[in-house]
Amino acid sequence: MELRRHLQEQYAAGYYLSKLHEFKGRLSNDNPEAADRQYTMACKYARMLYDCHFDWIRNAAGEIYLPSTNDTVFTLWIMTSKTAANLILVLCHLAGTFGPKGLELTDQSDSVALLQKARKVAEEMISFLSDKPVCARESFLMFKTVQLPVRREKFLMSFRAHVVCKALGDVDAAIEYLEDAIKYDSESNPDNTGEKLNELKAKRGTGNNGSISKVVRW
């Protein structure tokens, strides 16, 4: 406990958030393998912040009465979600999920392993962040400046989970994740999600060998 307090008091909350931001700044767009390692490390770092420094980060929000960039809790939640969503995207590209004709189902062992990792990232992060406060004060949740970014992040995570499940051939799970995504961003209807959902429903019950699909919802 004394060591934890000592480490917390060494740095301001902004230091930890800036370190998380630095992980993203060092990413190599030309080297997907390196990006995989870096985003994986960034996700682990973000979870470490919650486990070891969250009280300090929450206290750093201070006496703020309106949502703002000073809300370190909100900043951490958004950055953690973005980092995980980007890791999923990198893994999909490494797996060869996106081809010139869109989504391509692959049965190569290496690609399947990458997609399974991506699915695990999505499931674990949805479960993890669902249990974390979004902002310093619960009353801030009524403000659109908080609601909209959070809904966008939830949409993105669920949408990418649907992409991964479709690539793995688990159509039922892909449908559920896409339905969840649409729930959080039904107005803008990005990427023709309604059409994608109808196409998937036409294939319902295929690809999961009769097993019950595991889906983690927000």
Q: What is the pLDDT along the chain (218 residues), one digit of tens a residue?
A: 555 555 555 556 667 788 787 776 666 667 888 889 999 999 999 999 999 888 888 877 655 555 556 788 999 999 999 999 999 999 999 998 875 433 444 456 789 999 999 999 999 999 999 999 999 888 888 889 999 999 999 999 999 999 999 999 999 999 999 999 999 986 655 668 888 899 999 988 766 655 667 899 99
Tokens read off for 170: 């688990």
Q: Is the pTM of this model over 0.85?
A: no
Place of tokens 């990006």: 35
The string of DSSP letters for 91-104 reads HHHHTT-EETTEE-
- The Cα 199–Cα 211 span in angstroms is 21
Tokens read off for 30: 């030309």
46, amino acid identity: A
Q: Which CATH number fits domain 2-201: 1.10.287, 1.20.1630, 1.10.3470, 1.25.40?
A: 1.25.40
- The Cα 160–Cα 49 span in angstroms is 24
- The Cα 20–Cα 24 span in angstroms is 7
DSSP state of 50: I
